[in-house]
Structure 1
Amino acid sequence: MHGTRRAGLRRTLAAALAAALCAALLAACSGTGRGDGRTITVWSLENVTERARITRGILERFTRDTGIRTRLVTVDEGRLSQMIMAAAAAGRLPDVIGAVPLASVRQMAAGELVDTAAAGRVVDRLGAGTFNRRALEFTRDGGRQLAVPSDSWTQLIVYRRDLFQRAGLAPPDSYQNLLTAARTLHRPGLNGISLANDPSDPFTQQSFEDLALAGGCHLTGRDGDVALDTPPCRAAFSLYGELSGRFSAQGAQTVDSTRATYFAGRSAMIIWSSMLLDELAGLREDVLPSCPECRADPRFLARNSGVVTAISGPGGSAQYGEVTSWVITRTAHTASSERFVRYMFDEGYADWFGMAPEGKVPARNGTPSDPRRFQRQWEAAKAQGTAPLSQIYPKETIDQVRYGVDRMQRWGVLQNQGVLVGAMMGELPVPKVLAALASGQTDAAGAARQADGDVAEIRSSLE
């Protein structure tokens, strides 16, 4: 009965979204966008106070340079789909949206809410050869450029290199090495790994997907059917369950608690995004390392931590990460919006990715006349306005973060399943079974079977 009610609710939401999309398409039928283009509305998912301040500064310079005014609205990523639906229903979509994740780009494209021709013209004008090829691939659908890829972050396994060396352990760059290290180093006062199991947070799925991809576990098979109840996925659930159930801290583990445990020196490894790096180096006053050695040496953990990006498993080698983009909407004033997005990839670009270089690796490498311009500016960007990451971490670490997008894979995004991926982020069926797995309420086979059934139900409700 509960499943029937849930499916009925999803069908109601799907119907509401369909009505919203129809309204947006009617508003866009002139094909030239609304307004006279003297003012454009810009949504940005960079809603942290300091990042919003930097964004406003870029937009003010854009207005001074071009005469085009902007209205900035900062948006929480978790509310993006809801706000898009409401704005589309009212015929009041913004002109452009910044920092849009891949699943959201695909969802908007499926609803015909993006101006693919405008995005394509921006990329052509800037030079497709100046962009990272993999980032362009993630934001294209056949010959259509859905959005303009701006920057990326990668998922990392950060580990205590000093503890590994002392124990004679290899870096945790494979299923076997990861499990061996967790088992060897786990002891009272030290967890083998800090691993998320929060059933209400997409971060838990991101952590799992990183390992699942390496194991050859994919969201759907070649026939397009959900494929989570397969031998590769059962193996991935088994690994995650053993790591989180036996060698991670007990109880609910969140994005914040996993970081806190590693920062306190009570964990030998952690799976987190590259956005951890500035905090690990003690550059954020609100999130400082607290290990005993850190009191005398705030950069103790940064100096004694290694990173692994791509991990190898039964399915080969894979790297999870995210590419965020600038979207030009279907109802945008085309000329002004294209000019704005080009500005964000030229005059405003260094400030945009420089607001958080550890988590915003530029997808555009440079310009036709200076092919490495933005890569150099990224290397020199000061994390938290303090110091470039290259002055804190070895070149090997910086290069792994820089080139992580080249090895990046994602569930469903390149298999035309972006709408399903986005819907999964709303209901979180995988984090829910991972929480049950970590607490011993189910086993790997049961987790795979439950996840497969729940995702299949979500997909059915979208048809």
Structure 2
Amino acid sequence: MAAISLSVVLGGALLTACGGTPQQGPGLVVWTLENLPDRFQATERLTQRFTEQTGIPVDLVAIDENQFSQLVMSSAAAGKLPDVIGALPLTSTWQLAGNELLDTAASQEVVQALGPGTFSGRALELTRDGDRQLAVPSDGWAQILVYRKDLFAAAGLAPPDTYDRITEAARRLNQGEMSGISMATAANDAATGQAFEGLAVGNGCELVGDDGAVALDSGPCRNTFQFVGDVAGNYAPPGAQDIDSTRATYFAGRSAMIVWSSFLLDELGGLRDDALPACPECTADPEFLARNSGVVSAIAGPDSAEPAQYGELTSWTVQVGAKREEAKKLVEFMMGEQAYPEWLAMAPEGKIPARRGTAAEPDKFTRAWESLPAGVDTKRPLAEIYPPETIAALRESPERFSRWGFEQGQGVLVGATAGEMPVPKAVDAMLGGSTPGDAAGEAAEEIRSIQTSLR
């Protein structure tokens, strides 16, 4: 049996040995950013099973994402990097790559062993830098636009999958206590940047061009700022909105649309007691809001011929200096038939599989994912709550994930800008009175300054 050590973040404190730096043990040292107690325990069960089958001990450590950057750099300086990291977001993956802390050949070998064709092609692209496979993509969550199907049908409105349709619906449904749309706009909320980027990529707005030059003040980006300023400034609740207030507004039945992540869906379905729908109709019919909500996964703006969708992708990485062969075995196990479905089962609404199946059964894992119970206090498969078209849109979303900067090799810049939040600050300033053009220009200049500091 593996000796498992737990370092869980409680109240913002990282409880680790020796001043906060995880120590190398006799077996594999594995960091996981799935640090919530129930998810850590699920990972622990899987690593224990791995040890029972292989005899390779695992020292499992839970890491808070907000402290990851500082912790990994201090560990690298001390020569005490973990062997494997799991549930690593794209920005963190690219940060490690930029600091040459990834064994990219090991990741490539794992992908080859599992079969490149069994993965989402888009997921592999987002975790690849030229011919280097930086990480083994595992799963992700999708940004979605959820809307009131009943209100749209009554008003004769088409699903809000373009800028024009979103604007028209927000304008017409913004009546009385009903806001047309609810989306994050607070300057200090990462959800504001995520919402903006999700709308931006659908309009051909990129953070940087193919030449690496900052492009946030381009025509498509200025038009995205204009669009956000229009709908959020005229048809959303007054004041700065954050991830919690937007959900509360939609759940209270006081918003016709909401931009959120797919993590909304279990809560919308009444599966989490501390975030239940509270619309007037929900008292007698708890599933009213879920039944009357539609989901748009990809949005198109006027400057783009194709719709696109924002999403976050998490991966497994092997670090330089790792116990290489043992580390590869662990990642292959976690992405294989014995462990992968259980990994996805931690939170199916936010763990959409990036590995679709096996060579023998190409859709094995996506089929399993559809039947996994979601929720916290109540457990039900999402497919029992939402129609097949919604489940299909979620299932296929990793193939549409579009993100700023990664394809241009600017993942380190993306990570740095996420910390400084230039786009959320620009959105907040625009809604406070600056013009969309000024907002785009100010955000672009701040990002250029960040880019210069990284050279």
Could you state the TM-score of these two structures normalised by the residue count of structure 2? Answer: 0.92
- Does residue 321 of structure 1 match 2:311? yes
Residue in 1 aligned with 2:447? 455
Distance change >3 Å, CA 46–CA 451, structure 1 → 2 = same
- Does residue 291 of structure 1 match 2:279? yes
Q: CA deviation at 1:370?
A: 2.2
Match of 2:198 among 198, 210, 215: 210
- The 3-state SS of whatever aligns with 1:430 is helix
- The answer to whether the 8 Å contact 1:44/1:75 transfers is yes
CA offset digits 1:45-72 (Å, max 9, x no partner): 1122221221111122122222222122
Residue in 2 aligned with 1:78? 66
CA distance in 1, matches of 2:275, 2:36: 15
CA distance in 2, matches of 1:115, 1:278: 36
What does 1:432-447 align with in structure 2 at a 5 Å threshold?
Answer: 432-440=425-433, 442-447=434-439
- The 3-state SS of whatever aligns with 1:171 is coil
CA distance in 2, matches of 1:51, 1:296: 33
CA distance in 1, matches of 2:63, 2:344: 18
- The answer to whether the 8 Å contact 2:209/2:408 transfers is no
Residue in 1 aligned with 2:405? 412
- Does residue 376 of structure 1 match 2:376? no
CA distance in 1, matches of 2:204, 2:116: 31
- Does residue 348 of structure 1 match 2:339? yes
- Does residue 227 of structure 1 match 2:215? yes
CA distance in 2, matches of 1:43, 1:369: 31
- The answer to whether the 8 Å contact 1:195/1:243 transfers is no
Letter of the 1:273 partner, please give it: S
Could you state the TM-score of these two structures normalised by the residue count of structure 1? Answer: 0.90
Q: CA deviation at 1:188?
A: 2.2
- Percent of pairs identical after alignment? 54
CA distance in 1, matches of 2:29, 2:79: 13
Residue in 1 aligned with 2:11? none
Match of 2:35 among 44, 47, 51: 47
Letter of the 1:428 partner, please give it: M
Residue in 1 aligned with 2:294? 306
- Does residue 339 of structure 1 match 2:332? no
CA distance in 1, matches of 2:82, 2:409: 25
- The 3-state SS of whatever aligns with 1:367 is coil
Q: Unaligned 5+ residue runs, structure 2?
A: 1-22
CA distance in 2, matches of 1:191, 1:150: 37
CA offset digits 1:387-413 (Å, max 9, x no partner): 111111111000111111112211101
Match of 2:189 among 185, 201, 211: 201
* Structure number with higher helix proportion: 1
RMSD, aligned α-carbons: 1.4
CA distance in 2, matches of 1:279, 1:450: 37
CA offset digits 1:167-224 (Å, max 9, x no partner): 1111110000001111111122111111111211221111001111112111112332
Alignment size in residue pairs? 428
4+ residue segments displaced more than 6 Å: none
Distance change >3 Å, CA 38–CA 129, structure 1 → 2 = farther
- The 3-state SS of whatever aligns with 2:143 is strand
Letter of the 2:162 partner, please give it: S
- The 3-state SS of whatever aligns with 1:311 is coil
- The 3-state SS of whatever aligns with 1:182 is helix
CA distance in 2, matches of 1:221, 1:147: 24
